[in-house]
Every structure is written in C-alpha cells, then in structure tokens.
Structure 1
Amino acid sequence: MNLEYIINGACAVNEVQEVFKRSGIRRPVGDTDRVQRMIDNADEIITARDGDKLIGFLRAITDYSYCCYISDIAVDIDYQGSGIGKELIRLLRSKLGEEEVQYVLTSAPKALGFYEKLGFERNHNAFVLRRKKN
C-alpha cells in the first residue's frame, strides 16, 4: 500500500462517486451534477489515494473560527480498518486547529463506535430538518 493524503487537491466527480459506492456511505451517487456541487461547495476536502486510486474522502464545511461540519468521511471497504478515516480527521484537525474550532458530524449507526474511539462525544440535543430529496 502506497498511501498519499492530499489536502484540497483535485478529485474527479466519478472517483468520488466510486469511493462513496465502495465505502457503503449513502450519498446520491446516481446524481453526478449534485455530487459535483457537493465537491465544489466544500470548504475543505482531504483525499487518500493508493497510487492513482481514490480510496478515502473527507468533505467539510467550516467558518475556520468556531465550527466545522464534517459532511462526508468515506473509505473504500477494502481499506476500512487500516486507519485511513482516522488520518483524514487528524489532517483536518491539524489544519483547522483544536483551540477554537468545534467539529460536528452525523453518523451512520454502524460508525458510532469509530467516532467515539476518536474522542467524539454523542450529543442528544441536535436537531435535523430532513431533505425531501435523498
């Protein structure tokens, strides 16, 4: 494995769709225009590559001073459990800092333990207005 992590490097929409599919994360992978907008409007994107293959993807929205919402963390299923998701988060925290910025995300039920191991706390006072289009 020859892993390379890149902060805010270029990534093609088709490879992001593929890593979404291969990770098991639920995203609108059949809607290329929407996934492209997700990429284009992110404040921070961190990728992990094994050679030329995109195998990890983190997307975040932030004000760089108070809050950062981690929108996506997707790791190809063949690479899960090897520390890639943990490294994607570490790189984001290293860039944005830990003194002022609070990190927020929503988790799939299967991933709750992963985030708890990284020090995230469950929060019972969050609210969601669900989108009409998945």
Structure 2
Amino acid sequence: MVLEYRFDESCSVKEVQDVFISSGIRRPVGDTNRIQKMIKHADEIITARADGKVVGFLRAITDYAYCCYISDIAVDKEYQGLGIGKQLIKMLRHRVGEEEIQYILTTAPKAVGFYEKIGFEKADKAFVIKRKIH
C-alpha cells in the first residue's frame, strides 16, 4: 500500500463524509451543506490517500502568525496505527510554522493518549460555548 499525502483544497464533501464515518469521529456527516462550508472556509486541508481513497483528513483554521486550530483530524479505522495522523500534523506544522505558532485542538477522551504521545500538552484553561442543537 502506498499512501499519498497532499494539500488538497479540492477534496469532495462525499470524501470528507466517508472518512469521518470510517474514522468514528463525531461530525454532522448527514448535513452536506455544513460539511461543504467546513471545507470551503478551512485555511489548510491535508489528506492521506490510499489508492485514491481519502483515508486521512486534517482541517485547520489559522492566522499563520500566532495560532492554528486543528478543527478535524480523522483517520479511517482500517488505517489507524500506521502513523497517518502523526504525519498529517507534521505536514501542517511544516507548512504553517514550527517556531512561532501555537497549535490547539479539542479531542475525544479516547484520543488523548495519541496527542500526548506526539507532543501535545493538556491545557486546563480552555472555554467553550457549545453549539445549539436543534
């Protein structure tokens, strides 16, 4: 298996929905318009493809000067454990910057160990206004 990584602003809504579903990440996969907006307004999108299929997806919002928020990082469950998530983050850091930028994300409890293992530190001073669910 050959993995191809690329900065890919043209990945389709369907590809993103599929990798969200196959990864187990909780996202509004049934809301096509919302997924389209998520793709359109991202500053950075990086994908990992296996035989053309998106098996890893990272979406980030950044000012390229001070902070970068990793909004989504999803890896198909069949491809987890191969270093794809780690590589997506490495590529983002190389592209956006390593010295001046602070990287921020929120995570599901099951993924905490992964992020700690690759160098993220837990932050205890974060605040959230939760989405209103209709």
TM-score bucket of the superposed structures, by smaller chain: over 0.9
Tell me how far 1:10 sits from its aligned partner: 1.6
Letter in 1 for 2:109: P
The within-5 A match list for 1:30-69 is 30-69=30-69
Show the counterpart of 1:127.
Answer: 127
Which amino acid is the alignment partner of residue 82 of structure 1? Answer: L
Amino-acid identity (%): 67
Which residue identity is paired with 1:103? Y
- TM (norm. structure 1) is 0.98
Deviation for aligned residue 1:74: 0.2
RMSD over equivalenced CA pairs, Å: 1.0
Which 4+ runs in 1 deviate beyond 3 A? Answer: none
The correspondence of residues 1-134 of structure 1 with structure 2, limited to 5 A, is 1-133=1-133
- Describe the SS at the equivalent of 1:95: helix
Contact 2:44 2:59 in 1 (8 A): yes
Number of corresponding residues = 134
Instruction: Work out whether residues 56 and 85 of structure 2, in 8 Å CA contact, stay in contact via their aligned partners in 1.
Output: yes
Give the distance between the partners of 2:8 and 2:49, measured in 1 at CA.
13
Q: Distance in 1 between matches of 2:9 and 2:131?
A: 29
Unaligned runs of 5+ in 2: none
* TM-score, normalised with respect to structure 2: 0.98
d(CA) in 2 for partners of 1:66, 1:24 = 30
Residue by residue over 1:83-124, the C-alpha shift from the partner in whole angstroms, topping out at 9 and shown as x without a partner, is 000000000001111111100000100000000001100011
